[in-house]
Amino acid sequence: MPKITKQLTDTEIKKAKPQEKDITLTDGNGLFLLILPSGAKSWRFNYLRPISKKRTKITLGTYPEITLAQAREKREEYRALLAQGIDPQVHRDQIKQAEQKQQEDLFISVAEKWKLKKAREIEELTLKKNWRRLETYVFPVLGEMPVSEILPKVVIDMLNPLQDKSDTLKRTIRLINEILNYAVNYGLLTFNPCSNVKEVFTFEKSKPNPTIRPEEVPELIYKINNSTSNLFNRCLMKFTLLTLTRTVESSGAKWSEFDFDKKTWTVPAERMKTRKKFTIPLSTQVLRIIEILKTYKQDETFVFYSSRAKDNTSSKQNINKILTKLGYKNLLTGHGLRSIGSTYLNEYEPFLSPDAVEACLSHGIKDQVRKAYNRSDYLEQRRKVMQVWGDYIEQCEKSYQPPAP
């Protein structure tokens, strides 16, 4: 006559006290409660593996988090699997793997991986703005969706409210496609079905950064020199104009980046939009500004030190604020300063090499065939070009006659 196992009761389980060694309370049909010396109570299921025919145990959870009734329910579920020749442990692992795979396939999970990649390629502030855009317009709808389920209709319906915000719409579509393309390259998708979603929308024509003609530079220099801005900001304005750099590059300039023997300034890759280090030959006019800044040096790290900023360096928006105060709102931006130089140098006679001029602006060669073979950085040619530009700015500073009051 087979041995009959007495079933456990909640009262018996609650009263059971830990001993120096493990205690086993059996409920029958493979289910038992293991009481450890620490006082922890753990449900286990003992069974014969279908293939190997060896006995093994599988943990069901702890008591009282898993009640007696729930433990029995799980036992019967596993016994039903065994009746079909399915190993409960293998079955549970397969479910976990499927859930993990489903989690990895979610748009938000792919976006997190994409973010890690982009962190090595673009400015931190730019990435922060892009991520905020995704949090605002994309994640509330697509975040918990598997990338395989994201189809054009879903994206179009989500983005329709942005039709009146042309720039935001365009940037958001670009971000979505970057992430879906990343999913393709990662092996989660065979192709990106949303690659042409932008064709559904109408966009305003992009407007270039406002700028002024080179002939208007004398008045600009006069206004800078006679502005109420402090010495550092006035020097920053002229330094940016003379070096033709982006505001983020000039405002964050560090003393360690300058080689005064070679008369160069090398901006490291992490501070360049192109993510490639860039060496700028310094004109005599730039070197004069540097000498002034050395005289009033306030910091051993940053050239344009700011005690108000968290990182002790001038903000890249500082130049735009100054230009607004000088009366150039909607007429000229910090980026527009580069356009003035580009216009003057491309119109300059005698003729200057277009490649050298573009190199001064840290622009690459657009022709892919020429780019593949031409690896020149045009440093010596740029030295001449930058001096031509510096001489023009000096001429502007000396020649301007303010209108009579």
Centre a 10 Å sphere on the Cβ of residue 64 and count the other Cβ atoms it contains.
10
CATH number of 106-200: 1.10.150.130
Q: What angle do CA 81, 86, 90 make, to 5 degrees?
A: 110
The span from the CA of 130 to the CA of 1, in Å, is 73
What spatial distance separates the first Cα and last Cα of the chain, rounded to whole Å?
120
State the pLDDT at residue 371.
45
CA distance 275 to 270: 6
Q: Do 274 and 249 contact (CB within 8 A), yes or no?
A: no
What confidence score (pLDDT) does residue 123 get?
Answer: 80
The confidence score (pLDDT) of residue 372 equals 41
User: Of 297, 317, 313, which Cα lies nearest the Cα of 305?
Assistant: 313
Cα radius of gyration rounded to whole Å, the chain: 34
So where are the chain's domains? 10-96, 106-200, 214-399
The answer to whether 321 and 222 are in contact (CB under 8 A) is no
Catalytic machinery residues: 246, 273, 335, 338, 363, 373
In 3D, which of 263, 248, 379, 365 has the Cα closest to residue 316?
Answer: 248
Helix/strand/coil for 61: strand
Three-class DSSP category at 280: strand
Cβ contact 137:159 at 8 Å: yes
Mean pLDDT by groups of 10 residues along the chain of 405 residues: 74 91 92 94 94 91 94 94 92 80 85 93 87 95 93 95 90 96 93 94 82 96 94 94 95 94 94 88 97 86 79 78 94 94 93 92 61 63 96 94 79
Same fold, 10-96 and 106-200: no
Pick the CATH number of 10-96 from 3.40.140.10, 3.30.1280.10, 3.40.50.300, 3.30.160.390: 3.30.160.390
CATH class name, domain 214-399: mainly alpha
Helix (H) / strand (E) containing 28: strand 23-28
Scan for tokens 């729930």, then name that residue.
70
Cα–Cα dist 143/365, whole Å? 38
pLDDT value at position 205?
A: 76
pTM above 0.75, yes or no: no
